[in-house]
Chain A
């Protein structure tokens, strides 16, 4: 046990080269299939591919999906509200970055 604790663990960056299948995405987010489908139907996630079986989610989807889950759970808002909050947060981040760029 202590060996496990002391050794250095290498992490894998989930960058733009990594994509997730439907099952992998459910597992990575710790959510049920219906919840993931609802997120895609809401337009919150935009996987490549037409059917759930063919869906490929870019790794950046993970951040969006996890944030949406946390917002729903912690702020008692529904999926549409979480999607709106996410979009506004991203817009805010872009505007702030642009503001600092000048």
Chain B
């Protein structure tokens, strides 16, 4: 497994005070919180920061970690020293839900999955399992067509002795066509198992749409910038336009301007009220890289004088 340099992750020196570590943690947590951050790897970074803080905020765990000394470098293949005493660490103070730390963390501090906030089962007690929540990143094409995705979840389950252990579960989930940003998909009965024969909880998948190189999304409507020639815009034309459902022909009306929006009805994301695709025209200037082209421009200037700045009073 990889050695993790918790000090480096937190951006603090090895002799940082508890206050400095806390300050660094708070700052990084705000920066990389998956609900707030724009960083593409926010979720992974946020987990890493929490893992580092879990160790560095606790004097006992920090001292144990410091014992490893400075021999190790981040990313190096790590094996705990033979005399390492795994476990015996207190996880009672865990904040937050079922966070899952790295193998490195578990090798050092035991596989005490952090269930500090979970209600502990009582004898003869029947309880519905807790809901599980996960984020699912999908492409715009998958949102349009629907998709089947394999997802891996860390599910807490009671073992034979009734202790909670983490089990990795792989699910194949069909994502219905027409999901949009931030929407939840509910998978009934796919959450944590119930206790004492109670029903399982549900699994909620929150959809996060990945940025698309061509299209952008607003609600169910899809936007596309479409480059056109000056003559297509001036004279009108029929041009090929990509949509999520494939290429379609679109009529550009004569006398169109840059920035004008044309609507392709029903070509957005499907749903009870399907979205539209908006095509935003962008008139491109043909390069004048030879004498003949330059002459054409000069002739246009002579024969069709036009002041695009008349509204500016100049």
Contact = CB atoms under 8 A, between A and B. Distances in A.
B272 interface: yes
A30 interface: yes
B26 interface: yes
A35 B95 CA distance: 17
A9 B185 CA distance: 11
A59 B204 CA distance: 12
Contact of B33 (A11, A28, A71): A71
A12 B171 contact: no
A1 B218 CA distance: 40
B39 to A, nearest CB: 15
Contact of A28 (B131, B176, B280): B131
B202 A70 contact: no
A81 to B, nearest CB: 11
Interface stretch (A13-21, A36-44, A49-57): A13-21
A33 to B, nearest CB: 16
Question: Per DSSP, are chain A's interface residues mostly helix, strand or loop, or mixed?
Answer: helix
A75 B259 CA distance: 41
A92 to B, nearest CB: 9
Contacts of B183: 13-15, 59, 63
Contact of A85 (B36, B95, B190): B36
Nearest to A94: B218
B198 to A, nearest CB: 13
A79 interface: no
A60 B179 CA distance: 12
Contact of B171 (A9, A17, A97, A100): A9
Given A9-B171, A13-B178, A17-B272, A30 B130 contact: yes
A60 B183 CA distance: 7
B271 interface: yes
B169 A5 contact: yes
B186 interface: yes
Contacts of B171: 5, 9
Given A28-B202, A67-B35, A11 B169 contact: no
A65 to B, nearest CB: 11
Contact of B280 (A6, A71, A101): A101
B29 A74 contact: yes
B185 A12 contact: yes
Contacts of A89: 35-36
Interface in B234-286: 259, 271-272, 280
14 contacts: A9-B174, A9-B187, A11-B176, A11-B187, A14-B185, A17-B272, A66-B206, A70-B33, A75-B29, A76-B26, A85-B36, A89-B36, A97-B216, A102-B259
Given A11-B187, A100-B216, 12 more contacts: A5-B169, A5-B171, A9-B173, A9-B187, A13-B178, A13-B185, A14-B186, A30-B131, A59-B183, A66-B206, A75-B33, A97-B216
In the A-B complex, the 6 residue pairs with the smallest Cβ-Cβ separation, listed nearest first, are A11-B185, A14-B184, A8-B172, A63-B182, A12-B186, A67-B35
Interface of B: 26, 29-30, 33-36, 46, 95-97, 130-131, 133, 148, 169-176, 178-179, 182-188, 190, 202, 204-206, 216, 218, 223, 259, 271-272, 280
